[in-house]
């Protein structure tokens, strides 16, 4: 059965009506900026206090049942991780500058206020849990690894060597926090280089240290606003900017906010889909005309 002019025009009108009746409240403009909950918790790492003992690495593995990592490039016969991987959720690295200065650096999930990993996770296997902790539900994960691509800190790792792989990342020992405990890394640190507490209390503590000893510290609290804010905060020694420690310059806006607002802008008022349907309808009409399918038929 050949299409008629009337049927083509009816199809275009139906498509436009469908587009125009989309949910307008879902496209009502920029999304509100995400903020941490009032009871948010976090970690404060002070690089000037860290002595690189790795007690936090050992206790993290014990608390989370992580296996030893003997597959490092150093070829050690004992547990000697040199970076975050599928067996290591928390690591201490050593920075050596060209000027001879050194600093230790603790790496783990930053527990972003607006986490990119959760934004891209299609079925919410990664999500913002109670007290702002970025949690992981392995029962939902399909192994797409979008979270690995999206994370600006390169934190989520994938278990490539198991039959049923999962994503591995720090969850701030939420199984301990839920019972009134604290993360194992903070409990194990003999120098209180990493401490756990309420996010606002940690921010005030970090600013107080900067104000009290300005010559000791690089003049910034990393994570206060970087990338929209993180619930893991950092202090670095004077003369050692955070980029040297591997913390990227992300600006103050979160990546998910930018991408989600762009998506909403494209679909604002459903103008773009309506225009697309109109172009497609016109193309169909021209094709129908060129083939002369309407000749002698219904007009």
- The whole-model pTM stands at 0.79
Separation of alpha carbons 195 and 106, rounded Å? 12
Query: Of 7-21, 36-50, 186-200, which range is least confident?
Result: 7-21
Residue 8 has a pLDDT of: 53
Q: Which of 209, 205, 202 is nearest to 229 (CA)?
A: 202
Between the alpha carbon of residue 198 and those of residues 129, 180, 290, the distances in Å are: 15, 13, 70
pLDDT at 208: 98
Planar angle of CA 32, 37, 43, nearest 5 degrees: 120
Contact at 8 Å (CB) between 184 and 60? yes
Question: Residue 283's pLDDT band (boundaries 50, 70, 90)?
Answer: confident
So what's the pLDDT on residue 105?
98
DSSP assignments along 184-252, one per residue: HHHHH-TT-SEEEEEHHHHHHHHHHHHHH-TTTB-S--BTSSGGG-BSEEEE-BTT--GGGGT-----S
Q: How far apart are CA 121 and CA 143, in angstroms?
A: 10
Q: What is the per-residue pLDDT across 48-102, written as a single tens digit (0 to 9) for each?
A: 999 999 999 999 999 999 998 877 666 667 777 889 999 999 999 999 999 999 9
Tell me, rounded to whole angstroms, the distance of Cα 63 from its chain centroid: 23
Q: Tell me, what DSSP letter sits at residue 32?
A: P
Contact (CB, 8 A) for 76 and 85:
no
């Amino acid at each position: 059965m050949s299409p008629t002019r009337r049927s083509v025009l009816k199809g275009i009108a139906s498509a436009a009506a469908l587009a125009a009746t989309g949910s307008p409240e879902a496209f009502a403009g920029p999304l509100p900026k995400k903020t941490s909950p009032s009871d948010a918790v976090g970690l404060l790492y002070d690089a000037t206090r860290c002595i690189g003992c790795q007690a936090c690495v050992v206790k993290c593995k014990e608390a989370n049942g992580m296996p030893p990592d003997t597959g490092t490039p150093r070829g050690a016969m004992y547990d000697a991780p040199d970076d975050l991987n599928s067996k290591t959720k928390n690591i201490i690295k050593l920075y050596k500058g060209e000027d001879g200065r050194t600093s230790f650096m603790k790496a783990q999930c930053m527990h972003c206020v607006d986490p990119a990993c959760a934004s891209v996770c299609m079925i919410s296997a990664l999500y913002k849990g109670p007290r702002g902790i970025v949690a992981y539900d392995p029962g939902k994960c399909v192994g797409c690894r979008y979270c690995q691509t999206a994370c600006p800190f390169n934190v989520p790792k994938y278990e490539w060597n198991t039959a049923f792989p999962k994503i591995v990342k720090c969850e701030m020992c939420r199984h301990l926090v839920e019972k009134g405990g604290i993360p194992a890394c903070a409990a194990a640190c003999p120098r209180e280089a990493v401490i756990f507490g309420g996010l606002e209390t940690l921010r005030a503590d970090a600013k107080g240290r900067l104000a009290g000893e300005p010559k000791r510290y690089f003049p910034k609290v990393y994570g206060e606003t970087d990338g929209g804010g993180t619930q893991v905060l950092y202090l670095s020694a004077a003369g050692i900017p955070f980029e040297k420690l591997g913390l990227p310059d992300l600006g103050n806006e979160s990546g998910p906010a930018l991408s989600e607002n762009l998506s909403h802008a494209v679909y604002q008022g459903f103008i773009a889909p309506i225009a697309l349907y109109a172009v497609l309808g016109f193309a169909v009409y021209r094709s129908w005309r060129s083939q002369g399918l309407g000749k002698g038929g219904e007009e």
